[in-house]
Chain A
Amino acid sequence: MCTAQTEHVSLDAHGRGQSDWTPLSSAVVYYDHPVRATSDHAVVLDLRNDGGSHASRVVVEMTAASAAALARAIDRVLESEPARAELAALDH
């Protein structure tokens, strides 16, 4: 790898690529050489089913600008009343 930073996040999620839904238990996130994108680097979001086969994952490669916009959109959605209520319940 060219960049050393790899972030690991535990997830309680499901994802769907081109086939059926799969449980997703972790995310591996990094900024490094992509597979499909033609740029030198991309933010790679590798959403994984750790109990499944290597193919049971959902992967996204995006520009840093796209990742930043996505992060801001997620933050805005998390400001909604139901999302804030779910997060508040975790604190108790």
Chain B
Amino acid sequence: MAKEICSEVVSIEGHGGDPVEAYFTRPVGAGSVPGVVVVHHMPGWDEWTAAVTFKLAFHGYAAVAPHLYSRLGPGRWDDLAAAARAQGGVPDAQVVGDVEGAAQFLRSQPDSNGKVGAIGFCSGGRQVYLAACMSEALDAAVDCWGGRVIMPKEELTPNQPVSPIELTADMHCPLLGIFGNDDQYPTPAEVDQIEAELKKDDKEYEFYRYDGAGHGFFATDRESYRPEQAIDGWEKVFAFYGRHLGKPEND
């Protein structure tokens, strides 16, 4: 565990060179440090997002969580999330660009070991899947219950023009998927379909699927929280990062 942690809001260079605010939380004086980009869920850049960056730093990772809706600001994070919803979300290409910018920010840190992963929850999980396919910036990707990785044609929009599963053949890094078997977004059948596509394209992946858990079961402030499954899930995440990003010196 990190003995000293620093957390602050920084400005990173996102898609198109835009300034994007981000939570940046890191262990201090911890030697060479791997990095993780945290992609927040649909409700917005919230306290849970910041808490995830802290958890990662506690385990020895430098974590940065870009605010995907900050271009709509200034404003409170939930007001900006509502504005994003009202306009049909933000473009997938912009989110991938922001993830790339965040990865570059982490690699530019003087104590970076050069390895960067990503983790996303809910819509963030879908966006991590996309980033793993559309970008070479990541060394490992974690998709926590990302819904709409499979999108029917009628749901495609100018902001979301491609169903992520269609891009699986281009996935550039290993993928870890965490899913609850009671979830409906995605359903177990959809997770089966995603896994079949990963196998077909000979991609390196690990899926962990939990009985007695639905959507968002890591969330300690939700009815969906399942402590046993969440503890095991986080252990799987850190083991995966240890293999692909290098084990932090102080975890």
Q: Report if A38-B122 is in contact (Cβ < 8 Å); known contacts: A33-B43, A54-B80.
A: no
- Count chain B residues whose beta carbon lies closer than 8 angstroms to a beta carbon of A: 32
Interface flags for B50-80 (1: CB within 8 Å of A; 0: not) read 0000000000000000000000110110111
Q: Report if A6-B43 is in contact (Cβ < 8 Å); known contacts: A54-B72, A55-B75.
A: no
B35 contacts A by Cβ under 8 Å? no
Are A38 and B223 in contact, CB atoms less than 8 angstroms apart? yes
Q: Report if A40-B78 is in contact (Cβ < 8 Å); known contacts: A4-B148, A28-B85.
A: no
Q: Which of chain A's residues have a CB closer than 8 A to the CB of B101?
A: none
B178 to chain A, nearest CB (A): 15
Report the Cα distance A59→B85, complex, angstroms. 13
A3 contacts B by Cβ under 8 Å? yes
Q: Interface residues of B: mostly helix, strand, loop or mixed?
A: loop
A47 to chain B, nearest CB (A): 10
Are B155 and A34 in contact, CB atoms less than 8 angstroms apart? no
Nearest B residue (CB) for A55:
B79
Interface residues of B in 22-53 (CB under 8 A from A): 41-44, 46
Q: Which of chain A's residues have a CB closer than 8 A to the CB of B81?
A: 35
B206 to chain A, nearest CB (A): 23
Binding site for B on A (CB under 8 A): 1-4, 6, 8, 26, 28, 30, 32-35, 38-40, 46, 48, 53-55, 57, 59
- A-B contacts, 12 of them at CB < 8 A, read A1-B85, A1-B123, A2-B147, A4-B148, A6-B85, A28-B82, A33-B216, A38-B223, A48-B86, A53-B79, A55-B76, A57-B79
